[in-house]
Amino acid sequence: MLPLNFSGFLLSAAACTLTNIFSSPYTYWFPIVVIAALAVIMVLILIAVMAPLIGRTNLITWARIKAYEEVATVLLAIIFLSFSSVICAINPVGALGSIGLVPSACPGSGGTPVNNLWGLSVCNMYIFNQHVTDVLLGVYWISFIADFTPTLSAEATFGGLGISFSGVSFSTNPNTIYLYPFFVLLFGEIMLSLLQVVLLSSSALLFSFLIGIGLIARAFGITRTFGNAMIALGIGIGFIYPLLVSVTYGFVNTTFSNILSALGTSATYLLQDLGFSALLTFLTGLFSSSTVVSFGTGVVAQVWNLLGLTVLLASMVGVGLIFIPLLNFVILDAFVVDFSSSLGQGMSFMELITGLV
């Protein structure tokens, strides 16, 4: 198991500071937005003043509408400033931890501290990837052991007369054939999972960068729709996606830990059921059917539990690799499309990603 120090992945560590030019829209870019909006308003006022002189009084109404849109841009910048400040100030570990969605390793024990949404999402993804490597190692060893195939042969011949059969293999080749596509799928999904770590580690940076670009672009009429699209993408990748990952992968990681704990309990009970005192009770009560049944049922129950919980454990990894990313991207795509459309320029996040791929 790799040490829980994912600081190398946490590019967003400085995201919530007010002095980083690349990650802080507040100190550097907000004044640019206000200056740009004021400059445009000044131009519009000039147009409104000149309009009667050139005999185009309809330009006054047009200029007023455009001026209101510039005011809306400044209002949006103030709203996003407030929104970003709230997001940076709130530590979701408490809120999500109260409903059991934060793995015990995430609040910084021995590793990188988690004090915002982005750190929590990266921590969850990192822990999940560690679980994947652990399960992958287990699957590898199982398939390796299962591939030892004995061969049976027998011969009853005398002087060239008789019967024989040879080379009857108790082959597990079908399992190897079935495991091959499983491994291909598994490795493909692991690449997707690692891609998500990269995306999450830069999500806070993208949140600040894209929203900043979007607000500035929105101040100018020509680039307004482009700015709207950037704002939608910034909120989608920078806020919605880390929130989704924190909730869904938090659930997967905490359930994984609970199942591991239940496995340990089953193993303990199995050892107790096979322990000296249990065997002694069994032997002394050998002629009592109830004793035999109780002994056998306890052992059977724990063996069954160990098998079932192991399968469940591996299945949770499969859920996190296949089902959860699909769910997250469906919701993220819906959000980006609808939010960008409401701002004036529809764009699809999934078409962008699949187009790149």
Partner 1 sequence: MKRFMTFAVLALLLLPVLQADSPPSGQSFLSCSALFSNSVNGKPLVSPAIAAYSSYSGLVSTALLVVAMMFIVVGLIYGLGIAFRWDMLKNFAKTEYLEGFVSILIIVFVAGGIAAFSGALGFIGGLFSVGTGTTIPGSFQTLYGSLCTNIFNKMIIPGVLVYVWIFINKLFFSIITALTIDLAPGGFGVTLQPLFGFGLVNQLLWIEDGLATFMLAAGGMLIVMLFVIYYLFPIFLFLGIALRTFPWTRAAGGAFIALFIAFYIFFPAIMYQFTVSYSSTTNPSSSALGLCSSNSCPTGIGIALGSLKAYLGVLTLDVGYTAYTNLLYFSEIFLYLGINLLGLLISLLISYELVETFGRLLGAPSVKGRGLFKKIFK
In whole angstroms, the minimum distance from the beta carbon of 116 to partner 1 comes to 18
Site residue total, partner 1 (CB under 8 A) = 82
Among 7, 82, 258, 284, binds partner 1 (CB under 8 A): 258
Among 54, 86, 144, 157, binds partner 1 (CB under 8 A): 157
Binding mask 177-216 toward partner 1 (x if CB under 8 A, else -) reads -x--------------------------------------
Binding mask 281-320 toward partner 1 (x if CB under 8 A, else -) reads --------xx-xxxxxxxxxxxxxx--xx-xx--xx-xx-
Among 21, 86, 144, 166, binds partner 1 (CB under 8 A): 166
Other Cβ atoms within 10 Å of 341 Cβ, number: 15
Q: How far apart are CA 237 and CA 269, in angstroms?
A: 46
Q: Is residue 271 a contact residue for partner 1 (CB under 8 A)?
A: no
Binding mask 134-153 toward partner 1 (x if CB under 8 A, else -) reads ------------x---x-x-
Structure letter (DSSP) for residue 274: T
Of 8 and 159, which CB lies nearer to partner 1 in the complex structure?
159
CA atoms within 13 A on the CB side of 286: 4
The distance from CA 196 to its chain's CA centroid, rounded to whole angstroms, is 6
Residues 6 or more apart whose Cβ sits within 8 Å of residue 61? none
Instruction: Give, for 157, the enclosing helix (H) or strand (E).
Output: strand 151-158
In whole angstroms, the minimum distance from the beta carbon of 7 to partner 1 comes to 27
The distance from CA 224 to its chain's CA centroid, rounded to whole angstroms, is 32
Of 191 and 326, which CB lies nearer to partner 1 in the complex structure?
326
Q: How far apart are CA 135 and CA 312, in angstroms?
A: 11
Q: Is residue 326 a contact residue for partner 1 (CB under 8 A)?
A: yes
Q: Are 105 and 127 in contact (CB under 8 A)?
A: yes
Distance set, CA 339 to CA 224, 228, 301 (Å): 15, 9, 52
In whole angstroms, the minimum distance from the beta carbon of 61 to partner 1 comes to 11
Q: Is residue 169 a contact residue for partner 1 (CB under 8 A)?
A: yes
